[in-house]
Amino acid sequence: MDTQIDSFFIVGITKKTSNIDNAASNDIGYLWQQFIRENIMDLIPKKVSNDIYAVYTDYESDHLGPYKVIIGCRVSSADFIPDGFECVEIRGGLYRKFSPKGEMPDIVINEWQNIWNNKLDRTYTTDFELYDQRAANPEDAEIDIYVAINSNNR
């Protein structure tokens, strides 16, 4: 389903990675562990909810090239970013929304495989996953994945 998104900010922790040689799987897994272990959510100022976002941005080319991952929360203001954290803007625009359901993290991995194999005209600006209350049970979770697309995808 295509949906128009207004710009907003995410503050969290980041890692540069790529999908080559399974690097992203290891890097993103470690970033999630750090987020949970260090209670990062509680350290984010001006967060608007406890929803967690995993954002993919700063693509050097496409899904095969290096990019940055940030795991964090939506904030009402980006005017204060604590040391060790980064802020990224989810750019407003047209996004294709996917809502996989099932066991974590398999639903995320499988859905991204489907997205990569799809012929979407992606912008490679900012893509993101939304983990809200529907993701609380890892054995029966639902998340939303938003992939930035060009308007000619309609």
Among the CATH numbers 3.30.450.40, 3.40.190.10, 3.20.80.10, 3.30.70.20, which is that of 2-153?
A: 3.20.80.10
In a structure prediction context, what are the per-residue pLDDT tens digits for the chain, which is 154 residues long? 899 999 999 999 999 999 888 888 899 999 999 999 999 999 999 999 999 999 999 999 988 899 999 999 999 999 989 999 999 999 999 999 999 999 999 999 999 999 999 889 999 999 999 999 999 999 999 999 999 999 875 5
pTM: 0.94
Cis peptide bond upstream of 105, omega within 30:
yes
- Under 8 Å between Cβ of 93 and 127: no
Q: Where in the chain are the domains?
A: 2-153
